[in-house]
Amino acid sequence: MFIAQTLPTVTSSWYLSLAALLFAIGAVGLLVRRNPLVMFMCVELMLNAVNLTFVAFARSMGDLGGQALVFFVMVVAAAEVVVGLAIMVALLRRRPDATTADDVAALRG
């Protein structure tokens, strides 16, 4: 009871802020981290942050449509990962030593 009285009410803006934070972490992570797998995970984090945003908005507006959108995003994310991992595997087969994204830099001009 004591805890409950000191904590403010959780509104949808909390979720939105959390989503924004997650999105930012994902975006920064993608730019900073060099391990391809971690970069994939960062993309996933960004997409899930978007999902959270959709749900939060849908909930606050009482619109079911926004929640349905999450399924689209999840499907697309899955498709993206499938393709991305396949490309990664193909790349590592050609260059087994390329463990970080910086090693993948034969193309420059």
Residue 11's identity, in one-letter code, is T
Residue 98's identity, in one-letter code, is A
- Decide if 72 contacts 35 (C-beta within 8 A): no
Contact flag: residue 18 with other proteins (CB under 8 A): no
Contact flag: residue 7 with other proteins (CB under 8 A): yes
CA separation for the pair 76, 84 (Å, rounded): 12
Task: Tell me which of 21, 37, 74, 83 binds other proteins, using CB under 8 A.
Answer: 83
The number of CA neighbours under 13 Å toward the Cβ of 33 is 15
- Residues of this chain that bind other proteins (CB under 8 A): 1, 3-4, 7, 9-10, 16, 23, 26-27, 30, 36, 39-40, 43, 46-47, 49-50, 53-54, 56-57, 61, 63, 65-66, 69, 72-73, 76, 79-80, 83-84, 86-88, 90-91, 94-95, 101, 104-109
